[in-house]
Amino acid sequence: MNIPFPARAALAIAVACALPACDRGPAPASTTATTPTATATGNPPAASAGPAADPALLKQAQTLFKPIPEKAPDPAGNPVTPEKIALGKMLYFDGRLSSSGVISCNSCHNLGMGGIDGVPTSIGHGFQKGPRNAPTVYNAVFNIAQFWDGRAEDLKAQAKGPVQAAVEMNNKPEAVETVLNSMPGYVAAFKGAFPGEAKPVSFDNMAKAIEAFEATLITPGAPFDKFLQGDDRALSADQQAGLKLFIDKGCSACHAGVNLGGQAYFPFGVIHKPADDVRPIGDMGRFKVTQAKTDEYVFRAAPLRNVAVTAPYFHSGKVWKLQDAVTIMGDAQLGATLTPAEAEKIHLFLHALTAPMPQVAYPQLPERDDRTPTPPGY
């Protein structure tokens, strides 16, 4: 997908600044909804968490955001089949795709932990620390492009990156193909997933199978999805107030759509430069991808689905508390000083984006063969 990036960023700022939030200070208190206080305790854990929402708020939310569908559309050029998904799942959990034999996709995108590794920046091959925080793989299929800087156009392009990155899995495509070809279990699984192909076991097909599996890693059913589907009591009173602030302050100018983000690129620091530890000077974001001056420190607006369970935050992974991330965003992107009460309400709203995670049964991986290369260094 080709996005005219500098144009996008410029447009993005224009969009963000068309909102009243860009040229005003803290919003007058009257813009904060004073919905009745939540009676969270005593409420059944069912869908009805709060009082009926203002119909105008529900309508506005429905125009800005979309619920996560029960099934993701098939990735472009890669029809999904049960065989492909099953193979992709094996590959996702198999450390033998890495040169050390132990680092799998799941090492850094732990499906039992929100699809992340929970450290500021990932630890990969030889315990090297990578430069960026690992984003979640859950719902990644809905992002317009992959990585903090959007440098991979889709999940199959993305999947080839970590296998080869020196600080991640540190492997070579030919070496991966040799390992996979050595195991009859994999050869049969590739044949089943890519029927009729002359060379089913290939690095490209590895990436396609992983993409097919990742397209199943979606999380419908968050309270906010129920709200968008018309359950006007799905959010607590505080969450409704947080949603209103999220829209009124201008967060939704960048964080909208099905993933509340993941769709466009913006400077991190539209109004104020974030602190150097939060936005390290060495990582210029999209500038490295496009070499355009206007792309300095431009990043993809982070998708916010399940954000409450994916700390630490930002591409630097330097911020552990979601409230702090909210306050930093208000200042850096909108020039709005959020009061602690406002940041707290937005933060409570962001908790309504946490959905039940899919049950993923750990796959049995094909056994090694005498031909399977031994991991180096033993």
Of residues 214 through 273, those in contact with ligand HEC by CB under 6 A are: 249-251, 253-255, 266, 268, 270
Among 58, 90, 329, 352, binds ligand HEC (CB under 6 A): 329
**DSSP bridge pairs for 129:** 123
Q: Closest separation between CB of residue 39 and ligand HEC, Å? A: 25
Q: Which is nearer to ligand HEC, 226 or 345 (CB)?
A: 345
Contact of 176 with 170, CB cutoff 8 Å = no
Could you please report the per-residue DSSP string of 18-39? Answer: HSGGGGSSSPPGGGS--PPPP-
**DSSP bridge pairs for 298:** 267, 285
Q: Which is nearer to ligand HEC, 142 or 194 (CB)?
A: 142
Handedness of CA 82, 157, 130, 264 (dihedral sign): negative
Q: Closest separation between CB of residue 155 and ligand HEC, Å? A: 6
The answer to whether 210 contacts ligand HEC (rule: CB under 6 A) is: yes
Task: Locate 14 and state its tokens.
Answer: 């224009």
- Based on the residue annotation, tell me whether 174 is a catalytic residue of this protein: no
Residue with tokens 């607006």: 301
Among 35, 99, 107, 290, binds ligand HEC (CB under 6 A): 107
Contact of 170 with 99, CB cutoff 8 Å = yes
Among 124, 200, 335, 366, binds ligand HEC (CB under 6 A): 124
Pairwise CA distance, residues 195 & 205, whole Å: 11
Choosing from 70, 83, 168, 197, the catalytic residue is: 168
The answer to whether 5 contacts ligand HEC (rule: CB under 6 A) is: no
The answer to whether 155 contacts ligand HEC (rule: CB under 6 A) is: yes
* Per-residue buried b or exposed e for 234-246, using 16+ beta carbons within 10 Å of the residue's own CB: bbbbbbbbbbbbb
Residue with tokens 């850096």: 332
> What DSSP character marks residue 337?
-
Among 89, 286, 305, 315, binds ligand HEC (CB under 6 A): 315
**DSSP bridge pairs for 267:** 298
Catalytic residues: 168
Q: Which residues bind to ligand HEC, rule: CB under 6 A?
A: 16, 103, 105, 107-109, 122, 124, 130, 132, 134-135, 137, 140, 143, 146-148, 155, 158-159, 162-163, 168-169, 210, 249-251, 253-255, 266, 268, 270, 299, 301-302, 304, 307, 310, 313-315, 325-326, 329-330, 333-334, 346
